[in-house]
Amino acid sequence: MKKDRSRTNAPALSRRSLLIAAAGSAAASIGVLSGFAAGPGDRWDEEYDVVIVGSGFAGTSAAIEARKRGASVLVIEKMAVFGGNSAINGGAFAVAGSPLQARQGIKDSVEQMVEDMLKAGRGLNHVELLRVIAEGTRWAYEFTLEYGVQYKDVVLQFGGHSIPRTLQTTNNSGGGITVPLGKAARNMGVIFRNRTKLEQILQDSSGAVTGIVVREGHRFPDEDSGRLRRIRARSGLVMACGGFSSDVRFRTRQDPGMDNSLQSTNHAGATSEGLAALLRAGATPVQLDQIQLGPWASPDEKGFGMSPQFLQQAAFPYGIMVDIRTGKRFVNEMADRKTRSDAILKHKDEAGNPVYPVAFVAEEGTGESPSLGNALKYGVAHKFDTIEALAQFYGINREGLLAQVDRYNAFVKAGEDREFGKTFFKKITLEKGPFYAGRAWVKVHHCMGGVQINTKAQVIHMATGEPIPRLFASGEVTGGVHGASRLGSCAIADCLVMGRIAGENAAARKA
Ligand SMILES: Cc1cc2nc3c(=O)[nH]c(=O)nc-3n(C[C@H](O)[C@H](O)[C@H](O)COP(=O)(O)OP(=O)(O)OC[C@H]3O[C@@H](n4cnc5c(N)ncnc54)[C@H](O)[C@@H]3O)c2cc1C
């Protein structure tokens, strides 16, 4: 064991604590800091060139890139299972200019993807990052192929994208990416350690990151469980610890509307302490109140469930969503997520209780939905022979619905949605049953906000505006890329592209 020349930089702590307080995180920080003060002294227990916090898309891709450059790499994960949100994600990956698009005659470009993301993000996006990500999608796609990831032979149309550009893993899950990448990383010699929670980022007197304090043997959610240990990161530290959608306390402080009346699609470990550690190290918070609601979730199941892939890939593109009180549509079912979520949230009765909208599609439109079978099996979707039967089951205004269906069919045939401007990529009407339907509501899904990084994935210091030496971040813990609304399938793009860049740059001192 070597003697640590870097200390916790005690005089700087009060300044950093002030920065955290500014970001609304002081209570969490005080707990962590006092925990560290009782810690194991100033010796390193272990040393690596690159240490990565988080085992999702961003962390695993960073690990592979760092290891390829000869760095010794440790990935820590606080949960018992690896993969975070990435492992439970839907496996939908936006790639600008994929070979699958070319084969189907779909013309796409980096500019068009940037334009779509900017439009959804209401212009809050940090364009230089957006461009790097859109440009990197083709490169990230090939990277996944290299490690054995498999995609279906389809290109999907997701809401807010102007053209079909979304690829889908064959198992319909992000696990179709995290498992092969994790296996490749382990084969290359990356060490993965679960139940190990980041407690604090250590810096020397110049502010350069030297290592971290962890709780090894941590039992989530017991904050104080596990043994405190110090791990040195000789070349770089990559923070890839994801978003905070499951952290009701913190998300409500950013946006009071995100209280526990809303469920989340995220895994339980999507909490804010990694972000707090970054803020304590001086990182700049960006748009923390931009928290996304997924507009395709179901009130009839917990978490992400089976509905999103049915609603997103069948009912919304090829069917309609209606207000049960009128039978009428109320939004372009393929608008960006914020537009749809805002519209759905308005459906409340006078007492403020949700009046869940219903979305449905004819059988012809269900071909791309991977989860319809399970949605039917678990009773979150239902099959009907006629529109009348569907209206009766959900208590939808029958006359209003029948008139709406007639109007919609006429729009599809004419190729123009004169009500809400939805683009019809296929001419699928609601004339011939059977029909498949489910209730829709919103769930807390994604944090667009996080810490500021530059195009090298370096974390930017709040006071100086300069990179914090040897500190990198990627994935959902970073902010600014997606602005006010992330487009579906663009998080995988973001995490893989910036994860690889972070890993490469974190290993640079070693290289
Ligand atoms: C159900 C669901 C479906 C989705 N589907 C899609 C989709 O199809 N396409 C798409 O583009 N996006 C999708 N998303 C969004 C996308 O999955 C996430 O944005 C992405 O997985 C984030 O990856 P990440 O690597 O940044 O973080 P994560 O994958 O969440 O990984 C972060 C890891 O860090 C760990 N961690 C956190 N704090 C600490 C700490 N203090 N110490 C140690 N470890 C820590 C966490 O436990 C976690 O395992 C979906 C999200 C969800 C929840």
- The larger pLDDT score, comparing residue 37 to residue 202, is at 202
Query: 277: number of CA atoms within 13 Å, CB side?
Result: 30
Among protein residues, the one whose CA lies closest to atom 20 of ligand 1: 86
Query: What's the 495 CA to ligand 1 centre distance in angstroms?
Result: 9
Considering the domain architecture, whether residues 333 and 408 belong to the same structural domain is answered as yes
Burial profile 364-399: b = 16 or more Cβ within 10 angstroms, e = fewer:
bbbebbbbbeebbeeebbbebeebebbbeebebbee
448 and 486 Cβ atoms separated by less than 8 Å = yes
Nearest to 174 by CA among 468, 511, 492, 510: 492
Average pLDDT for 320-325: 98
Residue nearest to atom 11 of ligand 1 (CA): 489
Note the pLDDT of residue 15: 36
Last residue of a domain, one of 150, 177, 204: 177
Beta bridge partners of 52: 75, 238
Give the residue whose CA is nearest to atom 27 of ligand 1: 242
Better pLDDT: 2 or 393: 393
**Closest Cα to atom 2 of ligand 1:** 89
Asked if residue 221 belongs to a domain, the reply is yes
Please check whether residues 418 and 327 belong to one and the same domain. Answer: yes
| Residues 164 and 44 both lie in one domain | no
Q: Is the CB of 90 under 6 A from ligand 1?
A: yes
**Same domain for 60 and 103?**
no
198 within ligand 1 shell (Cβ under 6 A): yes
Measure 243 CA to ligand 1 centroid, in angstroms. Answer: 7
Contact 110 CB / ligand 1 (< 6 Å)? no
Q: What is the pLDDT of residue 5?
A: 35
Beta carbon of 159 within 6 Å of any ligand 1 atom: no
Q: How far apart are CA 293 and CA 311, in angstroms?
A: 15
Q: Are residues 350 and 281 located together in one domain of the fold? A: no
Does residue 97 sit in the same domain as residue 33?
no
What is the extent of the structural domain holding 425? 292-443
Task: Please list, residue by residue across 471-508, b when 16 or more beta carbons sit within 10 angstroms of its beta carbon and e when fewer do.
Answer: bbbbbbbbbbbbbbbbbbbbbbbbbbbbbbbbbbbbbb
| Per-residue pLDDT tens digits for 94-136 | 999 999 999 999 999 999 999 999 999 999 999 999 999 999 9
Q: For ligand 1, atom 37, name the residue with the nearest CA.
A: 241
Same domain? 73 vs 97: no
Q: CATH number of the domain that 436 lies in?
A: 3.90.700.10
Judge if 459 and 437 occupy the same domain. no
CA of 343 relative to ligand 1 center, distance in Å: 26
Mean pLDDT score, 231-245: 98
**Position 511 in a domain:** no
Q: Is the CB of 240 under 6 A from ligand 1?
A: yes
Predicted confidence at residue 14, as pLDDT, reads 33
Q: How far is CA 418 from the centre of its chain?
A: 33
**How do 358-362 and 291-297 pair as beta strands?**
unpaired
Which CATH number is 466's domain given?
Answer: 3.50.50.60
pLDDT at 366: 96
- For 326, how many CA atoms within 13 A lie in the half-sphere containing its CB? 8
pLDDT value, residue 2? 38
- Which pLDDT value is given to residue 511? 65
295 CB within 6 A, ligand 1: no
Q: Residue 264 has what pLDDT?
A: 97
Cβ of residue 132 lying under 6 Å from some atom of ligand 1? no
CA 255 / ligand 1 centre spacing (Å): 20
Do residues 201 and 264 both lie within one domain? Answer: yes
Nearest-CA residue for ligand 1 atom 33 is: 54
pLDDT band for position 42 (50/70/90)? low
For 482-508, the pLDDT digits (tens) are 999 999 999 999 999 999 999 999 999
Q: Measured on CA atoms in the order 362, 364, 369, 372, is the torsion positive or negative?
A: positive
Distance 56 CA to ligand 1 centre (A): 6
Q: Is residue 383 part of a domain?
A: yes
Tell me the β-bridge partners of 458: 472
5 in any annotated domain: no
What band does 34 get if pLDDT is binned at 50, 70 and 90? very low
| Average pLDDT, rounded, for the chain | 92
Sequence-ordered list of residues with C-beta below 8 angstroms from that of 216, at least 6 positions apart, any chain: 193, 195, 196, 226, 227, 229
Catalytic residues: 337
Q: Are residues 66 and 194 in the same domain?
A: yes
Chain segment 395-447, per-residue pLDDT in tens: 999 999 999 999 999 999 999 999 999 999 899 999 999 999 999 999 999 99
Q: What pTM value is reported for the model?
A: 0.91
- Position 460 in a domain: yes
In a domain, 2, yes or no: no
Tell me, yes or no, whether 285 and 297 share the same domain.
no
In a domain, 245, yes or no: yes
408 CA to centre of ligand 1 in angstroms: 37
Residue 217 and residue 303 in one domain: no
Any ligand 1 atom below 6 A from CB of 58: yes
State the total domains in the chain.
3
User: CA-to-CA distance for 395 and 464, rounded, in angstroms?
Assistant: 59
Which atom in ligand 1 lies closest to the alpha carbon of residue 86? 21
